[in-house]
Amino acid sequence: MAKANMRYRFRNLENTGFPTSTGKAGTRMIDRTGAARIRKSGFAFWRKISIYHSLIQMPRWKFLFLVFAFYTLMNLAFALIYFALGTEHLAGAEAATSSWQQFVEAFFFSAQSLTTVGYGRVAPVGLITNTIASGEALVGILSFAVVTGIFYGRFSRPRAYLLFSKNMLVAPFRNGRALMFRLASYKNNFLTDVEASAMLVLHQPKGESRDSKYFTLKLDISRISALALNWTVVHVMDEHSPLFGMEAQSLIEQNAELIVSIKAFDDNFSNTVQQRSSYTHHDLVYGARFLPMFQHSDTKGLVIMALDKISDYEPAALPEFQHTPE
């Protein structure tokens, strides 16, 4: 049977949530972090975005920078108000003579009021200044309560902490070929009941655009009891696979993408965690096998797993595609 005919005898998934038609080059559906490459429009910005989810999910450095920026801007705003009222309304700040010194006194008084520290050297004088200082203290209490809650949410959010190999390989497997990638847990958490699923996306040319075809790939082992070491997830490219008969050039021409999803139970959180990632034809290495990434230690009988070797591979000759005898 010709490869073109073999390709279409597998059921194409229709209800995937992804588009069935893409541009001339085909579009990657999922990036390496697992986020969907989708931009939503036609709706108000503040109704599209969840501030809580954004703060929980953003990188650590961005979150810390945002907290620092919010704290600084709030103090600057209230400092400008105190400075506009005049430092004569701040008892203890009379020694400041220049405008810069007066603003500095107002800024640090704002910081003490916002954090409710209140050293006592500078104090508000008059109804208006006391009212503003009281309002600033209330803003500070509410702000720190929100930030503390978000800090806890970020710290306690269950995550899988999985490290994926940079490449997916087409490697020799049981006298045939198999598509495979490798993963491991890089934290000191312990994952059990680990399940893997994989979906193949082929962007096939059709006129000026491409049709996106989706196929569920059957995995050689789709579930393991525990992820103590690394796991090489394998899809056998036999006659039951939509990849049967496809060489590297065919996968490149169709902008092949492999979307992978891992679900597991974390014993520490007593909760289910999951993580997604994807590989494109740019990540494909045709004719290679993974190298071992763990070894036994000479002391205490420990097994040492080298996470920096998770993507290491070596060239390997591929056997020809074999038809199953009838």
Task: Give the tens place of pLDDT for each residue, 276-309.
Answer: 999 998 999 999 999 998 877 776 778 888 899 9
CA proximity to 291, closest of 312, 306, 318: 312
d(CA 279, CA 237): 17
What topology does CATH give the domain 48-156? Helix Hairpins (1.10.287)
Q: Mean pLDDT for the chain?
A: 85
Is residue 170's pLDDT more than 50?
yes
Q: What is the mean pLDDT of residues 226-238?
A: 92
- Please give the structure tokens belonging to residue 316: 């390997």
**Are 248 and 194 in contact, with CB atoms under 8 Å apart?**
no
What gap in Å lies between CA 248 and CA 288, rounded to an integer? 12
Fold for the domain defined by 159-315? Immunoglobulin-like (2.60.40)
CA-based nearest residue to 195, from 273, 304, 281, 290:
273
pLDDT score for 5: 41
Task: Grade residue 116 by pLDDT with cuts at 50, 70 and 90.
Answer: confident
Distance of CA 271 to the CA centre of its chain: 19
Q: Per this entry, what is the length of the chain?
A: 326
Average pLDDT over residues 60-67: 93
Question: Residue range 167-196: average pLDDT?
Answer: 92
Give the pLDDT confidence score for residue 15 in this predicted structure.
54
Query: pLDDT category, 11, cuts 50, 70, 90?
Result: low
Q: Which of 270, 193, 194 is nearest to 233 (CA)?
A: 194
Which tens digit of pLDDT belongs to each residue from 12-48? 655 555 555 555 555 677 777 777 766 777 777 777 7
Q: What is the pTM of this model?
A: 0.74
Q: What is the per-residue pLDDT for 24?
A: 52
Element (H, E) at 154: helix 127-156
Q: Is the pLDDT of residue 8 over 50?
A: no
Tens of pLDDT along 189-214? Answer: 889 999 999 999 888 776 666 778 88
pLDDT at 33: 72
Q: Assign 85 to helix, strand or coil.
A: helix
Looking at residue 7, its pLDDT comes to: 43
Using alpha carbons, select from 220, 231, 221, 225 the residue that is nearest to residue 162: 231
CATH 2.60.40.1400 location in the chain = 159-315
Distance CA 55, CA 49 (A): 11
Read off φ and ψ for residue 171, nearest 5 degrees: -125, 155
Q: What is the pLDDT of residue 6?
A: 44
